[in-house]
Each structure stands twice: as structure tokens, then as C-alpha cells.
């Protein structure tokens, strides 16, 4: 024999029925603290510092790549001038 009960209740009503603790105020407080700390840290850092923190090798690699291209273009340009 199979018996089925359909209970129509909100999640809050189910939590109270099963005796689970109310964690919403604690979650709100912790999220507020996290948000405040993140905002304070982001305000203290400049965009350039953020990029260096997030992409330490990437930024330096891009600078080196740019220098390499620039040197190559200058070499090609000096060859063109010497051939003429």
C-alpha cells in the first residue's frame, strides 16, 4: 500500500515545522561584512595595481611583446631606408 501526502507550504513554514534554525539574519550580516571589505579594498587599489595583481605575468608579457614588435618595426624600417 502506498500513501501520498501533498503539503502546500512555503519554505519558511517547512523550516519552522522541521525545527531548523533561522539563518537569514546571519547570512545578511556576513554578506554585508564581505561587501564592505571588498568595497574598501577595491577603493584603495588603482586600476593599474589591480591589473598587476590579477595578471602579473600577463602585463609584463604584453609589454615585452610590444617592445619586440616595436624593435622589429624599427629594424624593418631602417632596412628599407638603407636599400633606397
- Whole-prediction pTM value? 0.41
Size of the chain, expressed as the number of residues it contains:
84
CA distance 27 to 23: 6
Q: Grid coordinates standing for 29?
A: 550580516
Q: pLDDT tens-digit profile of 20-49?
A: 999 999 999 999 999 999 888 876 677 777
Q: pLDDT tens-digit profile of 3-25?
A: 998 989 998 899 999 999 999 99
Q: For the chain, what are the domain ranges? A: 7-44, 56-84
CA distance 28 to 8: 27
CA distance 42 to 26: 24
Q: Grid coordinates standing for 30?
A: 556576513
Q: pLDDT tens-digit profile of 50-62?
A: 666 666 666 567 7
Amino acid at each position: 500500500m502506498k500513501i501520498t501526502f501533498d503539503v502546500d507550504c512555503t519554505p519558511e513554514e517547512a523550516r519552522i515545522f522541521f525545527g531548523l534554525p533561522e539563518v537569514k539574519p546571519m547570512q545578511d550580516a556576513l554578506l554585508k561584512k564581505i561587501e564592505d571589505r571588498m568595497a574598501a579594498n577595491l577603493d584603495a587599489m588603482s586600476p593599474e595595481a589591480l591589473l598587476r595583481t590579477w595578471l602579473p605575468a600577463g602585463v609584463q608579457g604584453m609589454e615585452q611583446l610590444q617592445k619586440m614588435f616595436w624593435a622589429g618595426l624599427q629594424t624593418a624600417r631602417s632596412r628599407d631606408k638603407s636599400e633606397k
